[in-house]
C-alpha cells in the first residue's frame, strides 16, 4: 500500500497545478492520475551531475520530495563510465505525450521503455492495469519497477526484453508509446497495432536530429506528422549493443568561412534534421574547449572514415565564422545546404514534416507524403 506519509500529496497537487498553468495538462483524467501517483516511491534516488562531471546520488524522500515532483528530468541510472543510461522523463513532456496519445477507456497500451515505472503507473490509473503492458531491456529496472508498482497496488504486465521486437504475445494494442529514441520505427510495432491505432515515438536520424512523431496505422503503412514541440529521449538500448570506435582525424586541414550558425543541433533543430538526412552516419557532434577556462570555442562534426570539421563559435562583424575541415567526406556543406533549403521553404516548423513507414522503407516528407525529402530502406 501507499506510504502513510502524506506530505507527497501536496507536492503532487502542486505539480498538477504547475502543469495546468503551463498549458501542458488539459485532461482531468491525467490530472487525477498525477495527483494520485506517489512518484517518489518509484524514484527513491536520483543522480545530479556535479561541476567536475561526477554524479551525486540524491534521495527523493523528505527534502528530496521537491525535486521528484518538479519538472526536472531525473537521471536514475549511471554506468561505470559516468554516462547516464536511464532517466525518468520530465513530467511536462510525459503528460504532453500522454495527451497526444489520445487514449480512451478500454484501450490496450504498449510502452517501450519501462524505466522507473512512473509512466506505466499513470497509464494504470487511467486505463486499469490489465490494459497496460510495458517492457525494458534492463532486467534490473523492470524488477525494481514491478516491486514498487506492486507496493502501491498497480500491477501492469511488465517484461525484460528488447523493445525492437515489441511484445507480440499480448498484441494487438490500440496505442504504442516509446520513451526512448529510435533511428527507424520497427515494422514489428506496426504489426502489433490495431488498424487505426496510433504510435508515438521519438525518431532520430542522427545525434539529436529528429522529434516525436505520431503515426497512424493504415493497412499497408504507418503515417503521420512530427509534433509541434521538440523533445528528445535516450537512444533505445539492445542486448547486443557494442561501442563504436572512432578513427583519428584524416586528411589535410583546409579553411574557409561560413555564414550558417555553428551549432544547429542547439539553435536550429529543423535545420539539423535536414542536414542529418544527408550527412553520413554514424555521426558525432561536439565542441572544442578553451584549454584554460574550459568554455566551448568551436563546434565539431566527425565520422568514422576520419572526416571532420570545426566551426568557430565566434562570429566576425559580417556574421561569418571560420571553418576548418579535413578527410575524404565533406561534412559542413550538408549543413549549409539544409539551412538554405529551410529558408527556401519559408522556414517550416515541425508540424509540416511527416513520416511514412512501410515494411521495407521509411520516408521523411514535407507538407505531403508525395513531397519526399529522404527515403531509406530497412536493413
Place of cell 505520431: 214
Give SS3 for 346: coil
User: 211 pairs with which residues across the strands?
Assistant: 203
Task: Please provide the DSSP assignment of 271-338 as one string.
Answer: HHHHHHHHS-SS-EEEEEE-TTT--EEEEEEE-TTS-EEEEES---TTS-EEEEEESSS--HHHHHHH
C-alpha cell at 206: 542522427
Query: Residue 193: CB partners within 8 Å, gap ≥ 6?
Result: 171, 172, 173, 174, 176, 199, 217, 222
Check: CB of residue 82 under 8 Å from CB of residue 56.
no
Q: Pick the catalytic residue: 22, 54, 70, 88?
A: 88
How far is it, in rounded angstroms, from Cα 44 to Cα 154? 17
Check: CB of residue 293 under 8 Å from CB of residue 314.
no
* Catalytic site includes residue 88: yes
Closest Cα to residue 301, out of 319, 321, 320, 327? 327
Q: How far is residue 176 from each of residues 97, 166, 361, measured CA to CA in Å?
A: 11, 9, 20
- Helix, strand, coil shares, percent, the chain, to 5: 30, 30, 40
How far is it, in rounded angstroms, from Cα 363 to Cα 342? 18
Check: CB of residue 298 under 8 Å from CB of residue 262.
yes
Closest Cα to residue 190, out of 208, 217, 165? 217
Closest Cα to residue 90, out of 164, 151, 15? 15
Check: CB of residue 189 under 8 Å from CB of residue 358.
no
Active site residues: 88
Amino acid at each position: 500500500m501507499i506510504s502513510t506519509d502524506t506530505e507527497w500529496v501536496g507536492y503532487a497537487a502542486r505539480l498538477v497545478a504547475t502543469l495546468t498553468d503551463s498549458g501542458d495538462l488539459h485532461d482531468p483524467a491525467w490530472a487525477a492520475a498525477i495527483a494520485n501517483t506517489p512518484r517518489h516511491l518509484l524514484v527513491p534516488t536520483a543522480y545530479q551531475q556535479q561541476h567536475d562531471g561526477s554524479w551525486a546520488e540524491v534521495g527523493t524522500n523528505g527534502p528530496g520530495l521537491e525535486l521528484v515532483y518538479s519538472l526536472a528530468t531525473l537521471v536514475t541510472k549511471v554506468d561505470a563510465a559516468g554516462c547516464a543510461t536511464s532517466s525518468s522523463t520530465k513530467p511536462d513532456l510525459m503528460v504532453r505525450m500522454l495527451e497526444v496519445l489520445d487514449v480512451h477507456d478500454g484501450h490496450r497500451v504498449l510502452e517501450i521503455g519501462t524505466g522507473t515505472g512512473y509512466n506505466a503507473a499513470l497509464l494504470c490509473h487511467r486505463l486499469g492495469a490489465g490494459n497496460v503492458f510495458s517492457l525494458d531491456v534492463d532486467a534490473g529496472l523492470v524488477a525494481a519497477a514491478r516491486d514498487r508498482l506492486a507496493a502501491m497496488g498497480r500491477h501492469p504486465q511488465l517484461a525484460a526484453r528488447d523493445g525492437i521486437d515489441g511484445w507480440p504475445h499480448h498484441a494487438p494494442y490500440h496505442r504504442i508509446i516509446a520513451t526512448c529514441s529510435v533511428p527507424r520505427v520497427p515494422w514489428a510495432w506496426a504489426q502489433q497495432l490495431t488498424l487505426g491505432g496510433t504510435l508515438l515515438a521519438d525518431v532520430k536520424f542522427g545525434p539529436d536530429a529528429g522529434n516525436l512523431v505520431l503515426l497512424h496505422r493504415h493497412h499497408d503503412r504507418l503515417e503521420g506528422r512530427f509534433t509541434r514541440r521538440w523533445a528528445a529521449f535516450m537512444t533505445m538500448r539492445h542486448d547486443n549493443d557494442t561501442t563504436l570506435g572512432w578513427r583519428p582525424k584524416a586528411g589535410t586541414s583546409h579553411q574557409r568561412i561560413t555564414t550558417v550558425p555553428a551549432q544547429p543541433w542547439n539553435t536550429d533543430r529543423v535545420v539539423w534534421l535536414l542536414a542529418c538526412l544527408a550527412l553520413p552516419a554514424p555521426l558525432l557532434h561536439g565542441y572544442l574547449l578553451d584549454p584554460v577556462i574550459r568554455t566551448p570555442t568551436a563546434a565539431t562534426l566527425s565520422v568514422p572514415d576520419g572526416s571532420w570539421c570545426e566551426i568557430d563559435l565566434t562570429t566576425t562583424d559580417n556574421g561569418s565564422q571560420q571553418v576548418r575541415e579535413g578527410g575524404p567526406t565533406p561534412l559542413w556543406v550538408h549543413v549549409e545546404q539544409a539551412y538554405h533549403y529551410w529558408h527556401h521553404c519559408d522556414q517550416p516548423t515541425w508540424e509540416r514534416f511527416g513520416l511514412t513507414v512501410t515494411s521495407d522503407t521509411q520516408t521523411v516528407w514535407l507538407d505531403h507524403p508525395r513531397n519526399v525529402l529522404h527515403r531509406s530502406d530497412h536493413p
